[in-house]
Amino acid sequence: MSIALADALKQLDLQPGELRSVAVNGYKVEIRVLPAEGTSAAESMMLDLRLDIPSSPQAKTIIVSKSKPIFPSPFELQETDLAPE
């Protein structure tokens, strides 16, 4: 790696888990900062999820609201249900 590129990367001041991307000569180049050795990835990972999903005529919009979960009613087994057939 050239010294100029290393100096340019230092100026970005990226933190572990961060990701930057840029187009260079028609190619997409991504720069990702990995955690330092001795630290776990879970401690320093920052997730920035981006999805580019094409639209579809079958797409549906679902509106959700926060409420108590609705669980199915419990069912009871009888002794006869446990007997072999």
What would the pLDDT profile of 10-68 be if each residue is shown by its tens digit? 888 888 778 888 888 888 888 888 777 766 655 555 566 677 778 888 888 888 888 88
Rounded CA separation 73/41 (Å): 41
pLDDT at 31: 84
- Bridge partners, residue 32, by sequence: 19
Domain ranges (residues) in the chain: 1-49
- Per-residue pLDDT, 46: 59
Question: How far from the centroid of its chain's Cα atoms is residue 56's Cα?
Answer: 23
pLDDT tens-place string over residues 2-15: 788 888 888 888 88
What is the model's pLDDT at position 69? 85
CA distance 48 to 59: 24
